[in-house]
Amino acid sequence: MITEPHIPDPDGFYAALLQAHEGLSEAQSADLNARLVLLLANQCGDQQVLLDCIRAATLDIDTPAP
């Protein structure tokens, strides 16, 4: 799993991502994110890397107390 910056133009990518969400409802935005995650996961194609990424992405998420 690559954790160092690896995108040649991260600011440009982030701007394009924000632009893709412009004008969408919250539900449409969530759908776009889900589709994007699945497309990017398919591009990666490495199940272990994907599972490592899921674990890394969930490490610092605050979950509500029961």
Q: What pLDDT digit, counting tens, does each position of 16-42 carry?
A: 999 999 999 999 999 999 999 999 999
Residue 23 within any structural domain of the chain: yes
Q: What is the pLDDT of residue 30?
A: 97
Q: What residue numbers bound the domain in which 24 lies? A: 10-61
For residue 43, give the H/E element and its range.
Answer: helix 26-44
Spatial CB neighbours of 28, under 8 Å, sequence gap ≥ 6: none
Q: Is residue 4 part of a domain?
A: no
Domain count, the chain: 1
25 domain-assigned: yes
Whether 47 is covered by a domain: the verdict is yes
Q: Is residue 50 part of a domain?
A: yes
**Residue 43 forms part of a structural domain:** yes
Residue 64: pLDDT band (50, 70, 90) is confident
- Residue 5, domain member (yes or no): no
